[in-house]
Amino acid sequence: MSSFIERGWYGDDKRWWPLLILLLPISAVLFFISTLRRAWLNRQVDQLVEPPVIVVGNISLGGTGKTPLLAAMIQLLRLKGWSPGVVSRGYGGQSVQYPLLVSSEVPAEQCGDEPKLLVDKTQVPLVVDPNRRRAVAHLLAHCHCDVVLSDDGLQHYALQRDIEIAVLDGQRGVGNGFLFPAGPLREPFTRLAQVDFSVVNIAGPLHPSLAPLEDKLVDMRMEPMAFVHVATGERIPLQSMPSEQLWQVYCGIGNPQRFFMTLTAQGINFEPHIFPDHHSYSSADFTGHADGFVLMTEKDAVKCRDFAGEHWYYLAVEARLAADFIDQLDALLLKVKARKVIAH
């Protein structure tokens, strides 16, 4: 997304309103098409997937924190005795064949940056395929798992789902509340009434557009953990880095401003270099800075290991969730599992 469009979606400047009004008819047409598509796909869905399926996604374009949430859920579900597996579209990756079972040897260029990050971070069984139904079948045939997490699949209605989790940006909310392209929404705000959990990635005051959901939101906060060397994986405590160091910060995620706010809160002095979400980095992108101190997100780092410099690091963060969230999710999963056992 360009900053030009984002200012119209998320800003309060009324000068953008004429453009947004002109785009509203396109939004209406796309909404009509997507509604028909959803109805048609819902009729095609079979109920043959035995393990519970949890879809984690969002109703808006851009980054909201799905990948950190998935990583946290994988670890928390394991503590509850579950064996999770993940299916993903693998956005940004290009494989010669699908389905693709992702391992530590599969490069991000083949499977996508987010699947690569999840596998490296959690060693979770993960299958990439544009056809998520086929991905689930491959996952269950080749890996042991008793619950399936679908990454960014809220609008992928061809896949059966038992539990839906929507992730929201607490800082930007739903912007102007309009559907794309007049606004940032993939589906209307009312869609959130149908999901089982609405998780809000929050680092400050809640955006006013989310006020109607305030009592039902599950808080998620990102906690910086350490600096990690991109090439070696060596972890350096946050307080060990000199505060006067000027970092060249490279960022290719959906909402780079959230990352910059985290760095500022840590007292890090930096110059930003912003790239599109899922940008495929090459050494040429770092011309003039390759020998200096470079800092990036973990999602960026998985694509830079082969040519990382001596002083290249990423900031490791972990999602901290409301204490009762995993208990509620576990209870719901047990109900779903019991229902499916009876149905079979």
Instruction: Determine the Cα–Cα distance for residues 285 and 303; give it in Å rounded to an integer.
Output: 12
Domain ranges in the chain?
3-220+321-343, 222-319
Instruction: Determine the Cα–Cα distance for residues 134 and 114; give it in Å rounded to an integer.
Output: 19
The region that residue 201 occupies, defined by phi over 0 for left and psi between -120 and 50 for alpha, beta otherwise, is: beta
Per the annotation, binding residues for ATP are 60-67
* Three-state DSSP state, 69: helix
CATH architecture for the domain at 3-220+321-343: 3-Layer(aba) Sandwich (3.40)
* 3-class SS shares of the chain: helix, strand, coil, % to 5: 40, 20, 40
* Structure-block tokens of residue 139: 């996952």
Query: What is the pLDDT at residue 1?
Result: 45
Q: At what angle do helices 66-79 and 113-122 cross, to 10 degrees?
A: 30
pLDDT tens-digit map of 77-108? 999 999 999 999 988 888 989 999 999 899 99
pLDDT tens-digit map of 132-176? 999 999 999 999 999 999 998 888 888 889 999 999 999 889 988
Flag whether pLDDT at 327 surpasses 90.
yes
Reference 58, options 255, 211, 328; nearest CA is 255
* C-alpha distances in Å from residue 112, one per residue of 50, 124, 130, 273, 292: 27, 15, 12, 21, 27
In single-letter form, the type of residue at position 25 comes to P
* Structure-block tokens of residue 284: 């040429």
pTM (two decimals): 0.90
Per the annotation, binding residues are 60-67
